[in-house]
Amino acid sequence: MTNGRFAYSMSTALRHPGVIALIVAGVTIAAMLIVDHGPWNRAKTQPAHVAMYATTGDAARAAGAKVLPTTPKSPIEPARPGPKTSPVVNPVTP
């Protein structure tokens, strides 16, 4: 008789939102530790010919390509045809 009552109280206690949150947090932390610290996440050494070039431009020059700047835009551009649009509500600043 005691075993039945204990099993019922355990099943109702495991349905408590706090207990469920702790179980989910524990499983999530264990999964993150496995993914972040697994054998597939080791530092990979690069061969000398790959590690020699720090930027894409350096590698392109070494391969014999010319790296040229883009042509600048004209400071005076014609007005856009068509009706004017409303200003942007939240402008994006670079």
Per-residue pLDDT tens for 79-90?
A: 778 887 777 776
Q: What is the pTM of this model?
A: 0.36
Q: Which amino acid is at 43?
A: A
Cα–Cα distance for residue pair 63/46, rounded to 1 Å: 18
Q: What is the pLDDT of residue 1?
A: 47
Average pLDDT of the residues of the chain: 75
Cβ atoms 58, 50 nearer than 8 A: no
11-44 residue pLDDT tens? 777 778 888 899 999 999 998 887 777 666 677 7
Q: What is the pLDDT of residue 27?
A: 95
- The answer to whether the Cα torsion of 23, 28, 33, 35 is positive or negative is positive
Q: What is the pLDDT of residue 62?
A: 81
Cα–Cα distance for residue pair 53/56, rounded to 1 Å: 7
Angle between the N-to-C axes of helices 2-14 and 17-36, in degrees from 0 to 180, rounded to the nearest 10: 70
The distance between the two most distant Cα atoms of the chain, rounded to a whole number of Å, is 90
